[in-house]
């Protein structure tokens, strides 16, 4: 059954203003999208992109301004109204119910399958199949959301929005968690779709913006600072307009180091949430003062590896030698005390306590240290000084240090975690997708910080799907595939092609 | 043998009030609201349930009608109380624990006061009698255990698959589970979170009212201030015990009630067993089982107790 909405020939937001306590999130913004157009909305973390789109979807009410569709003013009191008008949004933070299946999550919005006494899941399944086939987006309808990797969840979100029949798509950083291949596929797909629908696309990756969009709008501090056609501007132009300066991602060009091994994984076996072995006899050694990039398509055991090392997942067998001590199956507390730093993938549930203030989140791992507490009372002055220093140093955009960390923009939450993990002087750092969702300026800064740490002699395990990030930073690159290390390459031998082939599971690149 | 049959045929009707109330509480919690006021709504239900047959049905030609009216009134007022609770914790986002305790005291107090005003002292009502099922109730052993109860016992056990079906197979159940686990996601896909929570609270309240009326009309056949005796709180505990699943909740209600029946039987046999221990037994069992039950975080309503505010990010 096809869902039909009236065509959206033009959509216009006029003089939109939205204030949150202490922040002007949207400052008199006006923008227009015509039929079949792709508008890229870019800007630094906290610039107000998500807020503006939430207003368009009826999630937030603007303080001032109005929305016009096909020239007529509309009032969206809730997302339902926006759906009815044919709008659909893939949110930056996934809007999925973890303990329900993919099928149920989609059924939740698929009202055609609702009769009072029965939920017609068969109909939803058909709809999913139809959409999957049409767009080549495959999802397992019976998987529970909590079992899926972030990338898979992202795909579910997209399928969900398409199933609900959106004619106007809003995509808030849809590629931030996708593999490079998935990203390319998505861009091709969106291009194809743009012939029949209009799209607003938010991304920090300017190459995508360049490839996909017709028009580009740049936000800074809540205000629209630039509008233009994409083809007139190169990615570096856009980056400069966005950040106000030339962006230059740093490179690791130091000679490779010969430090002593600090993290030694021996025959590691770890199970996934679904109960099968996610890591199979995995071996990897990382020395002090080197960055080892772990390249691989997400879902090949990266998450399980990071969690096992940090004591968050049971190790079935094998050893994790950390400065000579076997920390397999030790408590996270013990592992943190031993000097492990961890930047987790799931930043909203693992990296911060959303309801705690930003300053509290910044000392979450150190609340018991003398630095921040005395006779089991917290030292507020020291905590605030720490927070203020980090806020400046890491350029965390927040009204102050007392706001709940969960109220920050996605990229700024990431900065809070990074600030804490890097500043607490770990002896080793596991960074899982550290620049996911960060704007270019912030990514540049974080990369510099990681290289700085490397120089101080700290070993770093960098998990990423971004080959550029891996190639820029790593001394050695380990490719993970189906829970095993395919191969470890020196930086000089690694390039996009060789890594791509290894990531796809081909053991020896000679055979291709 | 007889001893066991006795315990079982006593324990099953005992479990009914708990079962009905905790199924109601399950809907509340699945939608993200825990209602500690269950006890209070049960007290109101118990009073109203017996009030109708007592005041207008006394000696009438068809007492059955008045019993049904009593049950209906108990459910209606229960639903109303549930929504009143919703007004406080859903609309005004008051802390649910405190509001629930308030509702409990309000309900128990009001029921007791109205009882003294309209009824005065202990008065018994004919209540709802047993309805042995023809033929089936004649089967030895199984008959007395399963087929010789009042109609609400049978109904209550039919509620279990019904509740399961509603929760897992209907759109409303899907909405309830969604708003209790990730209200933000539900909201973003066009579900009116607060409306669903109100509905769940109304259902939960109606069932709590019915459970109370069961106690006064079927079990005690009278009203007294202590008639609920903490069952509302046990019902809340049983929902956790049963991991928000109707069948496991039924298991919990049965376990608890059989233990209670056993305790009564032991006393009845004149065995010299300290009374206090016997009374403690069911509670101890629940605590022990709760302490050892495997945590299933992944199944439960993770937004339990959190009011929803669309414009707040956390
Ligand atoms: N519900 C809210 N309550 C309080 N402040 C908010 C809320 N939503 C957004 N903000 C604030 O508004 C500003 C803009 O946030 P927004 O999420 O729109 O940024 P963004 O451009 O999407 O950033 P990112 O690239 O990091 O996702 C931020 O300062 C943020 O802290
Ligand atoms: Mg955003």
Q: Where are the domains of chain A?
A: 10-243, 258-339+426-512, 352-425
Mean pLDDT of A70-83: 92
Residue B312 lies in a domain: no
Mean pLDDT of A152-168: 89
Residue B156 lies in a domain: yes
Residue B81 lies in a domain: yes
Instruction: For residue B137, give every residue at least 6 positions away whose Cβ sits within 8 Å of its Cβ, in sequence order, or none.
Output: B143, B144, B147, B148
Is A404's CB within 8 Å of B314's CB? Answer: yes
pLDDT digits (tens, 9 = 90+) for A319-342: 999 999 999 999 999 999 999 999
Taking contacts as CB-CB distances below 8 angstroms, the residues of chain B near A57 are: 188
Residue B306 lies in a domain: no
Number of domains making up chain B:
1
Structure tokens at A156: 């579910």
pLDDT digits (tens, 9 = 90+) for A255-275: 777 788 999 999 999 998 878
Do residues A97 and B191 touch, judged by C-beta distance below 8 A?
no
Structure tokens at A314: 């049971």
A495-504 long-range contacts (CB < 8 A, ≥24 apart) are A495/A471, A496/A467, A496/A471, A499/A295, A499/A467, A499/A470, A499/A471, A500/A180, A500/A467, A502/A295, A503/A295, A503/A296, A503/A297, A503/A479, A504/A297
Residue B310 lies in a domain: no
Residue B107 lies in a domain: yes
Give SS3 for A101: strand
Going by pLDDT thresholds of 50, 70 and 90, the confidence category of residue B294 is: low
Nearest to B166 by CA among B214, B215, B207, B213: B207
Residue B154 lies in a domain: yes
Taking contacts as CB-CB distances below 8 angstroms, the residues of chain A near B298 are: 98-99, 144, 146
Question: Above 70 in pLDDT, residue A197?
Answer: yes
Cα(A286) to ligand 1 centroid in Å equals: 37
Any CB–CB contact under 8 A between A356 and chain B? no
Give SS3 for B179: helix
pLDDT digits (tens, 9 = 90+) for A438-457: 888 888 888 999 999 999 99
Mean pLDDT of B186-194: 94
Is A108's CB within 8 Å of B170's CB? Answer: no
Q: Which residue of B has its CA nearest to A82?
A: B190
Class of the CATH domain delimited by A258-339+426-512? alpha beta
Whether A258-339+426-512 and A10-243 are alike in CATH topology: the answer is yes
pLDDT at B62: 64
What is this structure's pTM?
0.85
Taking contacts as CB-CB distances below 8 angstroms, the residues of chain A near B300 are: 99
Do residues A270 and A314 touch, judged by C-beta distance below 8 A?
yes
Distance CA A33, CA B10 (A): 71
**Which of A78, A83, A119 is nearest residue B169 as measured by Cβ atoms?**
A119
pLDDT at A512: 42
Output the average pLDDT for chain A.
Answer: 89
Distance CA B234, CA B212 (A): 13
Cα angle value A409/A415/A421 (rounded, 5°): 145
Structure tokens at B237: 């505990």
Is B171's CB within 8 Å of A116's CB? Answer: yes
Greatest extent of chain A over all pairs of C-alpha atoms, in Å: 69
Any CB–CB contact under 8 A between A98 and chain B? yes
DSSP letters, A390-408, are HHHHTT---S-SSSBGGGS
Q: Which residues line ligand 1 (CB under 6 A)?
A: A 20, 23, 25, 43, 45-51, 92, 397-398, 407-412; B 311-313
**Which of A83, A99, A118 is nearest residue B170 as measured by Cβ atoms?**
A118
Mean pLDDT of A31-57: 93
Task: Tell me which residues of chain B have a C-beta less than 8 Å from any C-beta of chain A.
Answer: 169-175, 177-178, 181-182, 184-192, 298-300, 302, 310-314
The CATH number of residue B216's host domain is 1.10.3470
Range of the domain at B66: 2-122+146-299
Interface test with A, best of B30, B161, B170, B174 (most A CBs within 10 A): B174
pLDDT digits (tens, 9 = 90+) for B97-126: 999 999 999 999 999 999 999 888 888 888
Neighbours of A271 (CB within 10 A): 16
Going by pLDDT thresholds of 50, 70 and 90, the confidence category of residue A2 is: very low
pLDDT at A178: 77
Q: Which span out of A405-419, B55-69, B118-132, B179-193 was modeled with the highest average pLDDT?
A: B179-193
Mean pLDDT of A364-385: 88
pLDDT at A3: 47
Cα(A172) to ligand 2 centroid in Å equals: 7
Question: Above 60 in pLDDT, residue A509?
Answer: no
- Residue among A18, A23, A41 to mutate when testing ligand 1 (max atoms within 8 A of CB): A23
Give the CATH fold of the A10-243 domain.
Rossmann fold (3.40.50)
Residue B211 lies in a domain: yes
Going by pLDDT thresholds of 50, 70 and 90, the confidence category of residue B74 is: very high
Nearest Cα of chain B lies from the Cα of A231 at a distance, in angstroms, of 34
pLDDT at A511: 46
């Amino acid at each position: 059954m096809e869902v039909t909405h009236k065509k959206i020939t033009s959509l216009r937001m006029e003089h939109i203003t939205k204030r949150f306590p202490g922040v002007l999130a949207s400052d008199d913004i006006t923008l227009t999208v015509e039929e079949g157009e792709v508008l890229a909305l870019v800007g630094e973390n906290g610039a107000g992109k998500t807020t503006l789109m939430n207003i368009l979807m009826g999630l937030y009410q603007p303080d001032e301004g109005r929305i016009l569709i096909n020239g007529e003013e509309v009032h969206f009191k809730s997302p339902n109204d926006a759906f009815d008008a044919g709008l659909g949004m893939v949110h930056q933070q996934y809007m999925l119910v973890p303990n329900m299946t993919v099928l149920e999550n989609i059924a939740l919005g698929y009202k055609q399958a609702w009769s009072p006494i029965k939920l017609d899941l068969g109909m939803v399944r058909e709809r999913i199949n139809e959409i999957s086939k049409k767009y080549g987006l495959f999802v397992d309808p019976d998987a529970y959301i909590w079992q899926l990797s972030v990338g898979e969840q992202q795909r579910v979100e997209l399928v969900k929005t398409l199933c609900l029949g959106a004619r106007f798509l809003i995509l808030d950083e849809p590629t931030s968690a996708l593999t490079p291949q998935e990203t390319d596929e998505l861009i091709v797909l969106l291009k194809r779709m743009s012939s029949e629908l209009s799209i607003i696309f938010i991304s920090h990756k300017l190459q995508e913006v360049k490839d996909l969009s017709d028009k580009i709008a740049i936000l800074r501090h809540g205000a629209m600072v630039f509008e233009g056609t994409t083809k007139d501007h190169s990615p570096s132009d856009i980056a400069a307009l966005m950040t106000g300066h030339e962006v230059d991602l740093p490179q690791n060009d130091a000679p490779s180091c010969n430090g002593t091994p600090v993290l030694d994984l021996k025959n590691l076996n770890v199970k996934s949430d679904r109960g099968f072995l996610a890591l199979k006899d995995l071996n990897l050694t990382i020395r002090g003062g080197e960055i080892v990039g772990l390249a691989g398509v997400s879902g090949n055991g990266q998450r399980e590896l990071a969690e096992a090392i940090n004591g968050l997942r049971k190790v079935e067998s094998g050893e994790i030698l950390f400065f000579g001590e076997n920390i397999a199956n030790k408590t996270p507390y013990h592992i943190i005390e031993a000097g492990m730093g961890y930047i987790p993938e799931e930043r909203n549930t693992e990296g911060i306590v959303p309801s705690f203030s930003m300053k509290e989140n910044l000392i979450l791992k150190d609340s018991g240290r003398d630095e921040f507490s005395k006779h089991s009372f917290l030292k507020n002055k020291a905590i605030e000084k720490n927070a203020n220093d980090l806020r400046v140093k890491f350029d965390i955009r927040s009204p102050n240090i007392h706001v709940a960390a969960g109220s920050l923009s996605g990229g700024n939450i990431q900065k809070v975690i990074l600030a804490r993990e890097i500043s607490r002087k770990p002896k080793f750092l596991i960074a899982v997708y550290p620049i996911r969702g960060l704007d270019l300026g912030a990514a540049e800064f974080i990369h510099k910080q990681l290289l700085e740490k490397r120089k101080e002699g700290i070993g770093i395990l960098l998990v990423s799907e971004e080959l550029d990030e891996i190639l820029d930073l790593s001394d050695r690159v380990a490719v993970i595939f189906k829970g095993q290390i395919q191969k470890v390459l020196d930086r000089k031998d690694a390039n996009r092609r060789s890594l791509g082939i290894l990531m796809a599971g081909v053991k020896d690149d000679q055979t291709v | 043998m007889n001893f066991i049959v006795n315990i079982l045929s006593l324990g099953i009707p005992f479990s009914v009030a708990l079962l009905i109330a905790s199924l109601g509480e399950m809907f509340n919690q699945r939608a993200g609201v825990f209602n500690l006021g269950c006890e209070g709504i049960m007290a109101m239900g118990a009073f109203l349930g017996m009030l109708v047959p007592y005041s207008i049905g006394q000696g009438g030609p068809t007492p059955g009608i008045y019993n049904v009216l009593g049950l209906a009134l108990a459910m209606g007022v229960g639903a109303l109380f549930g929504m009143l609770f919703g007004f406080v914790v859903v609309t005004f986002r008051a802390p649910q624990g405190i509001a629930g305790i308030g509702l409990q005291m309000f309900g128990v107090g009001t029921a007791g006061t109205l009882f003294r005003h309209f009824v005065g002292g202990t008065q018994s009502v004919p209540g709802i009698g047993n309805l042995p099922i023809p033929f089936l109730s004649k089967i030895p052993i199984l008959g007395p255990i399963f087929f010789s109860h009042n109609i609400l016992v049978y109904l209550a056990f039919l509620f279990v698959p019904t509740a399961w079906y509603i929760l897992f197979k209907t759109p409303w159940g899907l909405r309830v589970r969604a708003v209790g686990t990730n209200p933000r996601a539900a909201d973003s896909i066009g579900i009116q979170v607060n409306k669903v929570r109100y509905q769940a609270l109304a259902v939960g309240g109606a069932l709590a009212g019915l459970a109370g009326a069961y106690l006064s009309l079927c079990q005690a056949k009278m009203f007294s201030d202590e008639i609920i005796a903490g069952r509302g709180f046990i019902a809340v505990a049983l929902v956790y015990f049963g991991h928000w699943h109707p069948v496991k909740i039924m298991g919990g209600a049965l376990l608890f009630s059989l233990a209670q029946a056993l305790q009564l039987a032991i006393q009845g046999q004149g065995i010299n067993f300290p009374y206090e221990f016997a009374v403690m037994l069911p509670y101890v069992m629940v605590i022990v089982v709760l302490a050892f039950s495997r945590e299933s975080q992944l199944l439960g309503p993770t937004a339990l107790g959190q009011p929803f505010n669309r414009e707040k990010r956390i």
